[in-house]
Amino acid sequence: MTIPVELKQISDTVWELPASYKKGMRVPARIIGTPDLIRAMDAGVFEQVTNVATLPGICRCALCMPDGHWGYGFPVGGVAAMDVEKGGVISPGGIGFDINCGMRLMLTNLTEEEVRPHLKQLVDKLYEHIPAGVGRHGLLDLTRGDFADVLEKGSAWCVKRGYGWQEDLERTEEGGCFKGADTAMVSDRAVARGRNQVGTLGSGNHYLEIQVARPEHVYDAALAARFGLTRPNQVVVMFHCGSRGFGHQVASDYLQSFLDVMTSKYGIPVLDRELACAPFASPEGQAYFAAMKCAANMSFANRQVIQHRVREVFADVFGRDPKDLGLRQIYDVSHNTAKLEEHVVQGERRTLLVHRKGATRAFAPGMPGIPAAFGDIGQPVIIGGSMETGSYLLVGTPGAADTFYSTAHGSGRTMSRQKAKKLWRGQELQRQMQARGILVRTASYAGLAEEAGGAYKDVDQVIGATQAAGISHRVVRFSPIGNIKG
């Protein structure tokens, strides 16, 4: 791929395209990464991040994280902060179709040696108890009224009904609920698509993994201990999913709504239809913000119910209470959201709407919004890799101020799903992974091929770039031993 000649390296890990690069850019565009990662970026990243830099109200710069790749509107890995008091916009393309897609990490007090004899039974039962795949329905039979409560209350609705523990809420971003969700702002079509999907993984790159923290991959033992990771080869459970068809429909509805008014009503030039937007303070912008919060809360509830099922399965397989097994939540982080936050811009504290599309919030120690248990060490950050490699637990750092306290969210694709299916066969990939000690159950062999490790960037390189850039600090790497996929 040809890198734009205008791209300048301004530090070991920061690269910039100036505002003069493209007509209409209001700020520069910056990409975080090592030289190798920059060379591996697809052309769409440079095109899209500079398009984002043209949006009204954008502050400081448009950003792309080290795992960045082409997406819808924004690149995946894109971050943009809009000044809501100076005409800043909100854009569904800067949040994503899978609103509040995120990661949840659970602790156990078991070791790999204790789990291995039960691994096949665990993987099979998790696959049976947690619906995965396109269009799958969850195990909760929700009325329309129940679902409306879920959309406004998020994880708390689940905990109140026995699908979790109070401490889960304390270890979830935003306490598991975006305040201000308004069900009147979502369509009947969205409700119909989402009402029966609470407690489901979905398809694509969504997964649930049983993972191991091996001693050689504990990079900060003191911080690992703060999270409860104290035993050699300790087992954790990590999963990645979002708001399913509900979030997709909310995004689709408002993309069309914004296209209808963006130019005709608000005079915003259309550089890319996928960047459809409206002023945040406008009726349309506020309606979408309230609907987006509904989808975020559905996603929190989705992960909460899945976590409950994980606890049930482990308790059944080991014949012990989930608390006795140490099945506590470490943290739940979002990576497809827009949030009102205060940040310092040119020495002045301002209220900004921070879009993170395939990027994770990474608040530094002492910042509000971090659970009390981690206030002095920084917000936990969970970054998933491919099912063949590994995933990471990190913490936020003061250096992330330059990225509006944002970091990567995964390893990032290097090729299309179509190309991956041409290079790998799902059944053969499953056999190869089993030979390496990773058991996989999948709803679709074609879907499994799409997620082959070779279709993704090297997660260790991505994490190395975030560490070198000072936007998050690595604590421990987890290796997969069991996986369920849609």
| Digit-coded pLDDT (tens) for 14-25 | 999 999 999 999
Predicted local confidence at residue 432, as pLDDT: 92
Q: What backbone torsions phi and psi does residue 211 show, to the nearest 5 degrees?
A: -130, 165
* Most confidently predicted of 138-147, 313-322, 417-426: 313-322
Predicted local distance difference test score (pLDDT) of residue 453: 85
234, burial (CB in 10 Å: exposed 0-12, middle 13-18, buried 19+): buried
Pick from 33, 72, 76: nearest CA to 458: 33
Closest CA to 358 of 128, 99, 51: 99
Question: Interior CA angle at 351 toward 347 and 356, to 5°?
Answer: 105
pLDDT at 27 over 90: yes
Task: Categorize the per-residue pLDDT at 271 as very low, low, confident or very high, splitting at 50, 70 and 90.
Answer: confident
What's the pLDDT at 133?
A: 76
Q: Which of 356, 404, 353, 401 is nearest to 86 (CA)?
A: 353
> Per residue in 451-470, pLDDT tens?
888 888 899 999 999 999 99
What's the average model confidence in pLDDT over 434-443? 92
264 class by beta-carbon count within 10 Å (0-12 exposed, 13-18 middle, 19+ buried): exposed
pLDDT digits (tens, 9 = 90+) for 368-411: 999 999 999 999 999 999 888 999 999 999 999 999 999 999 99
* Residues in CB range of 189: below 8 A, 6 or more apart: 249, 253
> Per-residue pLDDT tens for 85-129?
999 999 999 999 999 999 999 999 999 999 999 999 999 999 999
List the catalytic residue out of 248, 335, 409, 473: 409
pLDDT at position 131 is 87
| Per-residue pLDDT, 413 | 84
Q: What is the pLDDT of residue 307?
A: 98
Given a cut of 80, is residue 57 above it in pLDDT?
A: yes
pLDDT tops 70 at residue 359: yes
154 CB-side CA count, 13 A = 27
pLDDT computed for residue 2 by the predictor: 77
Q: Could you read off the pLDDT of 153-171 as tens digits, one per residue?
A: 999 999 999 999 999 999 9
Beta-strand runs (E) in 23-179: 29-32, 62-69, 76-83, 89-90, 102-111
Q: So what's the pLDDT on residue 1?
A: 59
pLDDT at 72: 96
What does R_g of the chain's alpha carbons equal in angstroms?
21
Cβ-count burial of 187 within 10 angstroms (0-12 exposed, 13-18 middle, 19+ buried)?
Answer: middle
Q: Which residues contact 340 (CB under 8 A, 6 or more apart)?
A: 84, 351, 352, 353, 354
Q: Per-residue confidence at 450, pLDDT binned at 50, 70, 90?
A: confident
- 409 catalytic? Reply is yes
Which percentage of the chain shows pLDDT scores above 90?
Answer: 88
User: Given a cut of 70, is residue 431 above it in pLDDT?
Assistant: yes
Examine the pLDDT at 441 and tell me if it is beyond 70: yes
CA angle 244, 412, 232 (to 5 degrees): 90
